[in-house]
Amino acid sequence: MVLLKIDDLKVHYPIRGGVFKTISDYIRAVDGVSFELKEGETYGLVGESGSGKSTIGKAILKLINMTSGRIVFNGQDLSKFSFGQMKPFRQDIQMIFQDPYSSLNPRKRVADIIAEPLRNYQCLTVGEEKKCVQNYLDKVGLNPDSMYKYPHEFSGGQRQRIGIARALTLKPKLIIADEPVSALDVSVQAQVLNFLQDLQKEFKLTYLFIGHDLGVIRHMCDKIGVMYRGRLVEEGISEEIYENPQHIYTKRLIAAIPELNPERRAQKTELRKKIAKEYEQLYPEYFDEHGRAYDLKSISNTHRVAMP
Amino acid sequence: MWKFILRRFLVMIPQLFLLSVIVFALAKQMPGDALTGVSMDPRISPERLYELREKAGLNDPWYEQYRRWISGIAQGDFGKSYTHKIPVSEVIAERIWNTVFLALITLILTYLLAIPMGIASGRFNDTWIDKVVTGYNYLGFATPIFIFALIMLFVFGFSLGWFPTGGSVDSKVDAGTFAYYLSKLHHVILPALSTALIATVGTVQYLRNEIIDNKYKDYARTARSKGIPETQIYTRHIFRNSLLPIAAFLGYEITGLVGGTVIIETIFSYPGVGQLFVSSIGLRDFSVVTAIVMMLGFATLLGTLLSDIILSVVDPRIRIE
Amino acid sequence: MEKPILQIENLTTSFKIKEKYYPAVDHVSFSVFENEIVAVVGESGCGKSALALSIMRLHNHQRTKIEGEIKYKERDLVDFSERQMNQVRGKEIGIIFQEPLTALNPLMTVGDQIEENLTFHTKLSKEKRRLRTIELLTQVGIPYPTRTYDQFPHELSGGMRQRVMISIAIACNPSLVIADEPTTALDVTIQVQILELLKSIQKDTKMGIILITHDLSVVAEVADRIIVMYAGQVVEIGTVKQIFANPLHPYTRSLLKSIPSQVTNKKRLHVIDGMVPSIVNMNRERCRFSPRIPWISRNAHEESPDLHEVAPEHLVRCTCYKHFYFKGS
C-alpha cells in the first residue's frame, strides 16, 4: 500500500531585487519531483548538499512552503492544508534531525523533551506520561533514570536516541530521517542504524531516509532516489542503483564511494578517471540546454532514469 | 546600493507619518495650550482670548489642525514658536549645531575610551588589567548618568573651576576666531566626558566579549598555524572582526546620544536642542516640542539606516543591492 | 636508512581540568617519512586532534602541558620558544582543518589569507607574492584563480574553500602537512577530489602527510601507514595492507566491522559495547579497551599493556588480541 505519494513537488524561492523588491527570478530548490513510499519500506534520498533532498523532507511537514505539486499521505492530500490544519497529520509523520547537539533544547530535561509531543496531542495523567516516557527510554536503550537529566549529560549517540524516542511517542507511521547519523562516529552510527531497523520491525515504520553517505543509504534502504540540482535523476531498488547505475550522475556518485580494499586503489582511481571523462563527454545527453535533468522514464518495473 | 537607500527612504514616509499622528495626538492630550499662560492675564477678556485662539486656529477640529500642521512640515515649515515669536525652524537651527557638536565629541570620547579598554581586557582576559576594566564597567552600569553628571559638574565646574558650568561659548570672544572655537570646545568637554565615561561601558563590555569570542575561533587558530606572531594575529585578524559589530552599532549609538543630550544639556545648562525641548515642555510651546520629537524620530530612522549601510560596507558577507 | 621528517617520541599532551592535568595524548611515538601519508584513526575523544595540534603547538599553553619529544628534522619542537615555533608553523609544517568555512577569516579575501603566509616566511615583493598566490590557487585546481584571489570565503563552495585551505598549508612548500579531518565536512564526490589533490601535490613536493580522520574508508583510499588510537594511546600501528588485511587489536577489528558498506544490505552492523572513556575517569593501569570487550577474560589482558611487534612495522598494544573473538561468533 502506498503510504506517501509525492507528485510533481516544486519548491521555488524567489530572488528579489530592485527598489520595490520585485521578483526577478527563482531558485529552484526542488523542481518537479515525484516518487512514492510503500508502507513499511525505507526510501533513501541521496544527493550532494544543495541537491534539494532535505527541502523535500521539510516540505512534507510544511516546515517550508511548497510552490506547487501534491503530497498525498494515507489518501489525504496534505498540500491543500494550512500549517494549522496539518496538526492531526503531524502525529503520523515525525522527523529525526541531523545534529543531536542542536536539535534538543538544552534547558529541558529529557523527560520533558520526550513528553512534549504527547502533551501537544494527548491528555495523559502525570503517572501515565511518566510511564510512557520510561517505556520509550527503555525502547531506545537508555536507562529510565536518565529522564531527569539534561541533554548535555549524554553522548552524541545517546542524544540521537533521545531525538528518536521523542519522534516515536506519538506512534507515527512515517519517519523522515534527515541525515540522522552523519554527525556520529562509525561505531555510534552502527548503533543508531541497527536501532532504527529494530524499531522499523517493531512499530511497522516507514522511513524516508535522507543522506549523503552512500554506504549508509545502501545499508538502510529498499529503494533509492538520486537527487541532483532539485531533480530526481534516477530511482530504483538498491541493487539496481548500485550494481547497474544508468544515469551519468549516479555513476559518478557510485564511483566516488571509498574503496575499502587498499589493494584495489589503482583500479578505483582508473575507474574514477574514466567516469569523470565520460561525465564531461556525455553531459549534453543527460541534461537539457538549461542544465536541467530530463523527466524520469521507466526502464524496468522498478527502475526509472532521467533521460530525454 | 542606491536602490536600497531609496527604498529605505520610501519606507520612512509611512513610519514618519505614523510618528506624526502619535506626536500630534499626545501634544493635543497635554493639558493647556500656548495661550494658557495668556489666559491667566486678567487684562485679556475671554472674548479676546477666543479671538486669539480662533486666529491661531486652535478652535478648529483636530484633523483640520493636524492637516495644517503636517502640510506645513511637508514644506519645511514647523510653525511659529509662541514663546520665541520666531519660526520653530529658526529656534531649532540656532541650537542644533551645539547639539551635533556635543554629540560628536561625546561619540569620539566614548570610542576613545572603549576601544583600548575593550581590547586590553579582551586580549588579556582574567588578568589584573581585565579585572580593573570589568570593575569599572560594573560601576558604570550601576551609576545613573544624571547623578554622575551632577558630581562632575560640582567637582570640575564649581569646586575646581576647570570648566565652565553653563553655556556653549564664552560671550567675550568674537565669533569665527580661534579663541571662539577653543572656547566652544572648552564648554563641551565636561558634558561630553560625563556622558562618555558612563556610556562607554556598554561598548567596552561588548568589545571585550567579542574579542574573547574571536580569539578562540577557528580562523584565529588558522592564523596561528601560519606562524604569525600573537600580536599580529590581533592586529590583522581579531581586532578587525571584533570591531565589526561595534562599527555596525554606530548608527544606533548616535540615536541614543541625541536622546541622551536632553538630560545632559539640562544639567549643564548647555543651549542645545535637548535643553530647548525640556524648557518648551514647561512653556507649553508645543510647536517646538512636536518639531523636536519629529526630528529625533527622523534621526533615529537615519541612524538605523546608517548602521545597515556601515555593516554592508565593512562586512563582505552582507551585500546590499 | 633514510631519516624521518618527523619523529615523535613518548609525546604526552595533558589538559588542565580543575587544577589537575589529564593526558589526552598518552606516550605516543611514531615517525613520518618523506613522501608518505600516515593516517591517525580513531573516534572522537581518542586524542587524534589533540595530537595534531600538539605537533604545531597550537594548544592554549596556559591549560596544556606537552612532554616527550617532537623531533622535526632533528630539532625538538617541544623545547622551542614561541618565536622559534613561528618559524616552523606555516613554513616547515602546514595544517589543514576540518571545517573550511570557519577556519577561514570571513572578512579577508582568499588572496590575502594565502599571501599572509608568504609575508611572514619569505622576502618576496608584494607583486611576487600575488603571483605566487595565483600560482598556488591554480595548483589546487581553482578554475578562475585571479578572480578567486579577490573573493571572500563565503563566496566559494565547500570544496573550493577546502582547496583554499590546502593552498594556505602548502604556500611555503612545507616538508610536512597535517590534515585534520580534511574531507569530513564535504560531499562524497568532493571528498575524492580533495584526496586526489593531496596525493598529486605530494607527488610533486615529496612532503610527508599526517592524515587525521575517523573515516576508515578515507584511510583505505590514500594512507601508506596507519596509526589506530584509542583513549589517547596508540593501540595498533602498521602499513595499510597489514591493518586492512590483518587487523589485530580488538578495537581496530571492531571499527572495521562497524562500517556499513562492508556488510550486505540490512544485516545488523557491529556495535562496540559501552563508551569511549573520558580523560578524567579512566583506568590508566590496564588495557583501556578491556571495559568494552567484557566477554574476554581478564587474564587475556596485560598489566600496563605495551606495544608488541607482531611483524616488521606492525605493532599491537596488549596481549588481548591473541584471545579476542567477536561476541556471538
pLDDT of residue C178: 95
Distance, CA of B80 to CA of B6 (rounded, Å)? 31
Residue C80 has pLDDT above 70, yes or no: yes
Distance, CA of C3 to CA of B306 (rounded, Å)? 62
> Which residues make Cβ contacts (< 8 Å) with residue C198, sequence separation at least 6?
C37, C166, C177, C179, C182, C209, C211, C222
Closest chain A residue to B9 measured between Cα atoms?
A: A19
B17 and B148 both lie in a single domain:
no
Cα separation values, C190 from C135, C160, C177, Å: 22, 9, 20
Distance, CA of C300 to CA of C120 (rounded, Å)? 54
Q: What is the pLDDT of residues C10-65, one digit of tens each?
A: 999 999 988 899 999 999 999 999 999 999 999 888 889 899 999 999 988 888 99
Q: Do B237 and C83 touch (CB under 8 A)?
A: no
B143 and B207 both lie in a single domain:
yes
The answer to whether A170 touches A178, Cβ cutoff 8 Å, is: no
Instruction: Report the residue from C44, C244, C268 with minimal CB separation from A194.
Output: C268
- State chain C's mean pLDDT as an integer: 90
B151 and B298 both lie in a single domain:
yes
B50 and B142 both lie in a single domain:
no
CB-based contact (8 Å) between B319 and chain C? no
CB-based contact (8 Å) between C272 and chain A? yes
Phi, psi of B62 (to 5 degrees): -60, -40
User: Mean pLDDT for each consecutive 10-residue tract of chain B (321 residues)?
Assistant: 81 86 80 63 73 72 81 77 78 85 90 92 90 93 89 88 80 78 86 90 92 92 93 91 84 79 86 87 81 85 85 77 53
Cα separation values, B207 from B227, B239, B252, Å: 26, 9, 16
Residue A48 has pLDDT above 60, yes or no: yes
pLDDT of residue C237: 96
Range of the domain at B266: 96-314
Q: Specify the pairing of strand C208-213 against strand C225-230.
A: unpaired
pLDDT band at C147 (very low <50, low <70, confident <90, very high): very high
Q: Chain C partners of B225 at a C-beta cutoff of 8 Å?
A: 56, 58, 89-90, 94-95
HEC sequence for C248-269: CCHHHHHHHHCCHHHCCCCCCC
pLDDT band at C265 (very low <50, low <70, confident <90, very high): low
Q: Is residue B152 part of a domain?
A: yes
Give the residue-averaged pLDDT of A66-74.
90
B173 and B70 both lie in a single domain:
no
Distance, CA of A305 to CA of B229 (rounded, Å)? 57
Which subunits sit against A, judged by 3+ Cβ pairs under 8 A?
Answer: B, C
Q: Is residue B192 part of a domain?
A: yes
CB-based contact (8 Å) between A25 and chain B? no
B170 and B266 both lie in a single domain:
yes
CATH number, residue B237: 1.10.3720.10
pLDDT of residue B36: 63
The last residue of one of the domains, among B74, B109, B130, is B74
C274 is written with which cell numbers? Answer: 559501552
B11 and B124 both lie in a single domain:
no
Q: Specify the pairing of strand A223-228 against strand A42-46.
A: parallel
CB-based contact (8 Å) between C101 and chain A? no
Residue C279 has pLDDT above 70, yes or no: yes
Q: Is residue B164 part of a domain?
A: yes
B14 and B111 both lie in a single domain:
no
Residue C266 has pLDDT above 80, yes or no: no
Residue A268 has pLDDT above 80, yes or no: yes
pLDDT of residue B222: 93
Q: Is residue B79 part of a domain?
A: no
In percent, how much of chain C has pLDDT > 90?
63
Q: Is residue B82 part of a domain?
A: no
DSSP-assigned letter for residue A293: B
Alpha helix positions (H), B216-285: 218-225, 230-233, 239-267, 273-282
The answer to whether B277 touches B292, Cβ cutoff 8 Å, is: yes
pLDDT of residue B6: 85
**Dihedral-angle region of residue B126 (phi above 0 means left; psi in -120 to 50 means alpha; beta otherwise):** left
The answer to whether A174 touches A208, Cβ cutoff 8 Å, is: yes
pLDDT of residue A56: 93
Instruction: Report the residue from A186, A252, A261 with minimal CB separation from C259.
Output: A186
The complex's ipTM works out to 0.90
Domains of chain A, each with CATH number or no CATH: 2-92+170-306 (3.40.50.300)
CB-based contact (8 Å) between C173 and chain B? no
Nearest Cα to Cα of residue A175 among A204, A139, A134: A204
Sign of CA dihedral B85, B89, B90, B96: positive
More confident of the two residues A113 and B257:
A113
In percent, how much of chain C has pLDDT > 70?
98
Q: Do B221 and C168 touch (CB under 8 A)?
A: no
Edge-first strand order for the sheet with A2-17 is A22-38, A2-17, A68-73, A76-77
pLDDT of residue C192: 87
B135 and B13 both lie in a single domain:
no
Give the count of domains, chain B: 2
Residues recorded for chain C: 329
The last residue of one of the domains, among B44, B74, B104, is B74
Question: Could you tell me the maximum CA-CA distance found in chain C, to the nearest angstrom?
Answer: 68
Q: Virtual CA dihedral for C227, C228, C231, C234, nearest 10 degrees?
A: -40
B70 and B100 both lie in a single domain:
no
pLDDT band at C208 (very low <50, low <70, confident <90, very high): very high
Phi, psi of A255 (to 5 degrees): -65, -25
Task: Tell me the count of A-C CB pairs closer than 8 A.
Answer: 108
Q: What angle do CA A8, A13, A19 make, to 5 degrees?
A: 145
B60 and B104 both lie in a single domain:
no
Residue C211 has pLDDT above 90, yes or no: yes
Q: Is residue B11 part of a domain?
A: yes
A228, HSE (Cβ side, Cα atoms, 13 Å): 22
pLDDT of residue A163: 87
Give the residue-averaged pLDDT of C307-314.
92
Q: Chain B partners of C56 at a C-beta cutoff of 8 Å?
A: 225
Q: What is the pLDDT of residues A165-187, one digit of tens each?
A: 888 888 899 999 998 888 788 88
Q: Do A18 and B6 touch (CB under 8 A)?
A: no
The least confident of A282-286, B300-304, C262-266, C277-281 is C262-266
